[in-house]
Structure 1
Amino acid sequence: MERSQPFLLRCTHGRLALELRLLPAGQDWQLLLTGGDAHIGAVILAEPANALPPEVPEAMSAHTAGGRSRPGVMSDTASSGTEDGVRLHVLRRTGHHDDKAALPLARDYCRALKATVCVSAGIHYDHISREEIDTVLALARMLGACGLRRLRRLQENDHADSERS
């Protein structure tokens, strides 16, 4: 597959517009999901759970705040866990909820591509309604699905090309 080329997908619904940029990083992928006033509100790192040692080094699992160590806590807005064979590391900016759109993308891309995937997300619309938030989440899922289909087609074409060689 020609992995050296990043690509961009866009989707709109009324005043809502989202962009998903996919950038290859060796065998891994960096995704940037933005909409409205773009920013970084959350970063999700997803990696295949079987690619990691079963224990996490102490230096990574303890956070020191005010001279006290809190084992297992990296920060008040960070978390880690394993879901369906994917280890997820979630870093959310205080007061932001962009992880709601980013986490499914990170998990799905990691699982489908069997690669480490980092999704940075920042979507902001002034005076957004609950219905519009639901629409943003649906648009993000749709963009994610379109991107995966495109990557699979590229993989299939690459596989067919290598068989002909």
Structure 2
Amino acid sequence: MDLKVKVGSEPCAVRLTLSATQGRGLCGFLTGGVAHVGGVAYAVPRPKSSGEGLTADLSTICGPGHKDVYAAQAVAKQLCLATNETVCICAGLHLDHASQAQIKEMMDNCTQAAQQAAEAYKKMGGQ
């Protein structure tokens, strides 16, 4: 099962494409601006040490000089906690000479995209 979400307007729009493995994990590509492979985040759900609720163990791979791994981490963790599934996100977000306001807008759009994707996934029969 695949799903696609687009949030925001150009040049700060982000796109999240997810492929699901029927309860065994989600794999996604997060893009905005010039699409590329900048960083990867892998989130695995587990119970909190207190025994109450979930947390996620997070691993990352970052291309030299790429900051888009921060978006990959945020989206992977958000989806992992929302679905209780392992999530891998490959991110490539790039705007030439992006302002702080544009970076914030793109990160906000990433958060919204993850939320919309989690809701859509659950409606499609995901956990």
TM class by shorter-chain length? 0.7 to 0.9
Instruction: Letter of the 1:36 partner, please give it.
Output: G
Moved over 3 A (4+): none
Other structure's SS at 1:96 match: coil
Number of equivalent positions: 120
Q: Does 1:44 pair with 2:14?
A: no
Partner of 1:123: 93
SS in 2 for 1:85: strand
- Taking only aligned residues, the RMSD between alpha carbons, in angstroms, comes to 1.9
**104-113 or 141-150: which moved more?**
104-113
Mapped to 2, the partners of 1:153 and 1:25 lie a distance apart of 15
TM-score (norm. length: structure 2): 0.85
Alignment-derived partner of residue 20 in structure 1: 16
Whole-angstrom distance in 1 between the partners of 2:37 and 2:81: 24
Q: State the match for 2:82 in structure 1.
A: 112
Instruction: Please report how far the alpha carbon of residue 14 of structure 1 lies from its aligned counterpart in structure 2 after TM superposition.
Output: 4.3
**Structure 2 unaligned runs (5+)?**
48-53
Q: CA deviation at 1:114?
A: 1.6
Aligned to 1:150: 120
Q: TM-score, normalised by structure 1?
A: 0.67
- Structure 2: how far apart are the matches of 1:104 and 1:37? 20
Q: Any conservation in 1 of the 2:39–2:62 contact (CA below 8 Å)?
A: yes
The answer to whether residue 86 in structure 2 is matched with residue 89 in structure 1 is no
Distance 1:85 1:11, change over 3 A: closer
Larger Rg: 1
Helix, strand or coil for the counterpart of 1:94? Answer: coil
State how far apart, in whole Å, the 1-side matches of 2:90 and 2:61 are.
10
